[in-house]
Amino acid sequence: MGMTRTPLIAGNWKMNLDHLQAVALVQKLHWSLKDASHEFDDVDVTVFPPFTDLRSVQTLIDADKIPFGIGAQDLSEHDSGAYTGEISGEFLAKLNIGSVIIGHSERREYHAEDDRVVAAKTQAALKHGLVPVICVGETSEDLEKFGASAVPVGQLETALENVNADAEIVVAYEPVWAIGSGQAATPEQAQDVCQKLRDVIRAKLGNAAADATRVLYGGSVKSSNIASFMREPDIDGALVGGGSLKVDEFSAIVRFGKHVGV
């Protein structure tokens, strides 16, 4: 674990929970971590609710001084205009949203977001002071055809094209073949790809950025396997899907240090 990199556990809620359910979940999660005497400074926690929940969750976090970050699941590459149904980074920034997921495999698959769109959205996020959580990963077909890491490395190279060396970004490696399958990559497989992604950051943005940037693993992360991933030197946290909707499970993932002795 890099001395300078605070681990980040991110919960991507996907299309789940209305705003009332969202508020209840965040409160319960906060209580659960407090009850477990979790040291909030040791691990950053960020939740990524659906757009309709953002205002309610942000208001709660502010009012109760809950030490969670809040992010959005997507944003438009445009600032404003005739783009029905799109959400501008400007709107998110006004809500004090800190980060935004970009290029999640579901967006790439169901909304035909290619590497150019991901690069444009990365620029839009940075322009509005949002931290882009840039998702990269390969399908099982990609893996067979191109071998390990080739596709995510290419995706990240394109996403970082015009990014400044001092920009704050997060990279999330999500092997599409592992998401929701119950079949996680092995820690060694994940480490190998995350190391290569860090090499891309080093080549594009320099040593300081490579040392500071958090690289997350996502894909069937559970409280039972999180510690084994966190032991790897280039894995700085997790992007958790289904597990982030269960208070006890997500709380246990956030407290991975208890099972890993970090």
CA distance 231 to 2: 11
CA distance 218 to 71: 16
**What pLDDT is recorded for position 179?**
75
* H, E, C per residue of the chain: CCCCCCCEEEEECCCCCCHHHHHHHHHHHHHHHHHCCCCCCCCEEEEECCHHHHHHHHHHHHHCCCCCEEEECCCCCCCCCCCCCCCCHHHHHHCCCCEEEECCHHHHHHCCCCHHHHHHHHHHHHHCCCEEEEEECCCHHHHHHHCCCHHHHHHHHHHCCCCCCCCCCEEEECCCCCCCCCCCCCHHHHHHHHHHHHHHHHHHHCHHHHHHCEEEECCCCCCCCHHHHHCCCCCCEEEECHHHHCHHHHHHHHCHHHHHCC
* Token output for 117: 């769109």
pLDDT tens digits, one per residue of 128-159: 999 999 999 999 899 889 988 999 999 999 99
Domains of the chain and any CATH numbers: 8-260 (3.20.20.70)
Q: What's the chain's length in residues?
A: 262
Estimate to the nearest angstrom the gap between the alpha carbon of 42 and the chain centroid: 17
- Of the candidates 200, 199, 152, the one whose C-alpha atom is nearest the C-alpha of residue 176 is 152
Estimate to the nearest angstrom the gap between the alpha carbon of 233 and the chain centroid: 18
- What is the percent of the chain where pLDDT is above 70? 97
Residue whose pair of structure tokens reads 């890099």 in the numeric block:
2
Q: Among the listed ranges 120-134, 141-155, 172-186, which one has the minimum average pLDDT value? A: 172-186
Kindly indicate the confidence band of residue 185, based on its pLDDT and cuts at 50, 70 and 90.
Answer: confident
Residues noted as catalytic: 104, 174
**Is 24 within 8 Å of 56 (Cβ atoms)?**
no
Mean pLDDT on 67-92 = 98
**What pLDDT is recorded for position 1?**
41
- The whole-chain average pLDDT of the chain stands at 94
CA distance 152 to 91: 30
Residue 253 has pLDDT above 60, yes or no: yes
pLDDT tens digits, one per residue of 18-44: 999 999 999 999 999 999 888 899 999
CA distance 127 to 130: 8
List all residues 6 or more positions away from 85 whose beta carbon is below 8 Å from its beta carbon: none
CA distance 218 to 26: 21
Mean pLDDT on 109-113 = 96
Residue 86: burial class (beta carbons within 10 Å; 0-12, 13-18, 19+) = middle
**Is 229 within 8 Å of 238 (Cβ atoms)?**
yes
- Of the candidates 200, 247, 248, 197, the one whose C-alpha atom is nearest the C-alpha of residue 218 is 197
* Token output for 35: 């009850």
Residue 210 has pLDDT above 80, yes or no: yes
